[in-house]
Amino acid sequence: MLLLLLRRGHSCRNPSFPYLTFFSTNSQSRPSESIPSLVAQRRWSDPRLGELLSSCSAPIRVSAILTELRDDPRSAFLFFIWAGRQPGFQHTVESHCIAAHILFMGRMYLQSQQVLRDLVVSHGALRDFSGLFEALKSAAKACGNTRHGVFDALFGVLMNLGFLEEAHEMFYRMRGFRIFPKIRSCNELLSRLAKSRRGELAKKLFDDMLLSEHMHPTVFTYNIMIGFLCKEGDLKVAMELFVRMKEMGCLPDLVTYNTLIDGHGKYGELEDAERLLMEMRQAGCEPDVITYNALVNSFCKYEQLHKAFGYLSEMKRNDVRPNVVTFSTFIDAFCKMGMMQAAAKFFVDMRVRGLVPNEFTYTCLIDGNCKAGNLKEALLLVDEMVREGVELNVVTYTALVDGLCEEGKVVEAEEVFRAMGNAGVAANQLIYTALIHGHFKNKNTGRAMDLITEIKEKGMKPDLSLYSTIIWGHCSQGKMDEAKVLVDEMIESGLEPNHFIYTNLIDAYFKAGKASEALSLLYKMVESGNPLTVVTYCALVDGLCKEGSVREASYHFDKMREVGLHPNVLAYTALIDGLCKNDCLDEAMKLFEEMVGKGMAPDRVVYTSLIDGNLKQGKLTEAFSLKNKMEENGLEFDLHVYTSLIWGFCKNGQMEEARNLFTDMINNGIIPDDAVYNCLISNYSKLGNIEEVLELQNDMRRRGMIHSSCGEVSVPGGPT
């Protein structure tokens, strides 16, 4: 039964009635026979048309007149539009449904869709979806429309408006009445469900399409579902579907193979991707530029550049021209691997070939140059982007802000951030995180906290990366209470600390002299399932060594190797330094030899620790041998190295060598401190060389280390 849904607030008290029943029982209420004639003549100002809409039964009468105009769909449409624009009148679901059927019967498909769209958008018809479907069925009967095109049109309107769940429901309602949408419409719904990540709905629709006797899925149907499964990483089911489509007699096309090759390649299944390429050729499908781009991208992603170059050569042999995507993929790979010269060469080559770099190409190069410390080159690329009319996106701005912050140029980074806002590009959490990191790194805590407030005011919920950055910022400044509050806050918001956060906290607690808190966090980190990384072990070994627990540090150093991790330079350095400070010189030297044997380059800290350790044990030969190795490796001496060596010479009574090294130290721009002067003065005093003592004291006085007003300075170890 077709129900008339009157407008809310209508002054008429009568209930809604089907217009057909109304007119069959109320003959005097039938519309004047002249009304359709007036409409056909476009006599919109005729008072009889105005009177039509002035009564309580106006919605019923409009539906009746529309029905009478079913053989003149253009007039019916104009009447529908005219009536809808009259003050105080609003079309009902019934009149919409009748108009849609009449227009569809008259092949006025766009106008029919327009009426259905108005019904869905303006009248809230989806609140009673069941009633809407029934009204559409009854209207079809009233108009004598035996075709089902209007149902398919509503199906399409729902999809175009984004009402995918409602379109999905309509599919099953139509099927329940043995009305079947066109396969093209079903494919469109399947595609939209897949793209909007409504996986369960997509799978259900696909399965029902396969099971339906009245629907015959095409290669497009299978391609949509295979594409969805590949993006979800469900390669096993995607391949099962691939096999099934062939068994059903549906031959895969170029899109099918490209989708599967790309899906397997992105997830590292490179052998399977190449196997699919071989099968593709055997099936008579020749690879196109999309196929090769998928392969190039996959092998570049997994750093198998020789394979990627192999496919680039194959493209040329098969006369498949590389496009912007091909070159940009190589440029991106080179940038990520720090091969900036190769990236620059490809950038030049693509332009020589007449290809125009896009925003992705420029962004890769800008980001790569920033990370390589080539900030000047990155800024030149930004200028070129602007000149060429290529718009900077948020990723480009983020790369630039991050690069400037890494160089300590936070003022310039702020200027870029403001320019982005002025250009109408919305800031995301990633660029905020980069800027906050830069301010914390440059000790601008106030501005960093202001940015955090700004993020919250914009309604952004901090993600794990942002929390990690803020916690790191507080840890780097020793503000452990603030860091702990943030950890509690993120846990309350449903986020769990990752290994990066735990490592920063452990390191900060050790540096704050709170070893028990650091170890407590370590146990919590293990219990939470977070893996201990090389960086975590470095913080642990360094913290334990500085705390004096060198044996426990050695245990964790060995444990790192047991779990398959390879200690890096920092781990070796921390343990060697700790062993030397705790008089475990033999173990330290053994680690040093192991470190060198693995091709690692010991830094200044390692040499300084070992030199100091050997000198304290009177092993001058070994100490000076290490000094020579430092020089051979191009490591410059710092204050600590000079201090240790001068102390060693003095202890061995080699005052001339100590004095020469002292002079060499000053000539190299290293300013001696009290410890160096006092060491020399003390030893010259013991030898009775007052002339050297006084000269050194005068030198200290010139440097402002002794004030004249303090009076005569006593000579350590000498007469007072």
Euclidean distance between CA atoms 378 and 636, whole angstroms: 31
Structural contact between residues 174 and 137, judged by C-beta atoms closer than 8 angstroms:
no
pLDDT of res. 31: 46
Same domain (yes/no): 600, 566: yes
**Model pLDDT for residues 639-650, shown as the tens digit of each residue:** 888 888 888 888
Amino acid residing at 499: H
Same domain (yes/no): 125, 239: no
Same domain (yes/no): 5, 121: yes
Same domain (yes/no): 112, 238: no
98 closest CA partner among 68, 54, 55, 78? 68
Euclidean distance between CA atoms 504 and 536, whole angstroms: 8
The reply to whether 499 falls in a domain is: no
Total domains present in the chain? 4
Q: What is the DSSP letter of 706?
A: S
Euclidean distance between CA atoms 465 and 536, whole angstroms: 18
The reply to whether 580 falls in a domain is: yes
**Model pLDDT for residues 576-589, shown as the tens digit of each residue:** 999 998 889 999 99
537 closest CA partner among 524, 553, 549? 553
Same domain (yes/no): 16, 143: yes
pLDDT higher than threshold 80 for residue 17: no
The reply to whether 649 falls in a domain is: no
Of 322, 339, 368, the residue at which a domain comes to its end is 322
Same domain (yes/no): 58, 126: yes
The reply to whether 41 falls in a domain is: yes
The reply to whether 109 falls in a domain is: yes
Q: Which helix (H) or strand (E) is 564 found in, with range?
A: none
Q: Which helix (H) or strand (E) is 302 found in, with range?
A: none
In 109-234, where does DSSP find H-type helix?
A: 109-122, 129-143, 149-160, 164-176, 183-195, 199-211, 219-231
Domain limits for position 608: 532-635
Amino acid residing at 624: F
**Model pLDDT for residues 176-232, shown as the tens digit of each residue:** 667 677 788 888 888 888 888 888 888 888 887 887 777 788 999 999 999 999 999
Over range 659-668, report the average pLDDT.
Answer: 89
CATH code, domain carrying 565? 1.25.40.10
Euclidean distance between CA atoms 369 and 362, whole angstroms: 11
pLDDT higher than threshold 50 for residue 14: no
The reply to whether 625 falls in a domain is: yes
Of 283, 304, 322, the residue at which a domain comes to its end is 322
The reply to whether 175 falls in a domain is: no
DSSP per residue over 445-503, as a string?
HHHHHHHHHHHHHTTPPP-HHHHHHHHHHHHHTT-HHHHHHHHHHHHHTT----HHHHH
pLDDT higher than threshold 60 for residue 18: no
Same domain (yes/no): 40, 143: yes
Same domain (yes/no): 4, 113: yes
380 Cα distance to chain centroid: 26
Euclidean distance between CA atoms 137 and 118, whole angstroms: 18
Euclidean distance between CA atoms 37 and 79, whole angstroms: 11
CA distances from 203 to 176, 196, 224, 583, 616 (A): 19, 13, 11, 68, 74
Same domain (yes/no): 128, 4: yes
Same domain (yes/no): 687, 572: no
Same domain (yes/no): 20, 129: yes
Confidence of residue 330 (pLDDT cuts 50, 70, 90): very high
Same domain (yes/no): 577, 544: yes
Beta strands per DSSP E along 279-437? none
Euclidean distance between CA atoms 162 and 631, whole angstroms: 71
Euclidean distance between CA atoms 123 and 663, whole angstroms: 93
pLDDT higher than threshold 80 for residue 719: no
Structural contact between residues 24 and 53, judged by C-beta atoms closer than 8 angstroms:
no
Weakest mean pLDDT among 299-313, 503-517, 703-717: 703-717
Structural contact between residues 553 and 575, judged by C-beta atoms closer than 8 angstroms:
yes
Of 300, 322, 344, the residue at which a domain comes to its end is 322
What is the rounded average pLDDT for all residues in the chain? 86
Burial class (CB in 10 A: 0-12, 13-18, 19+), 92: buried
The reply to whether 448 falls in a domain is: no
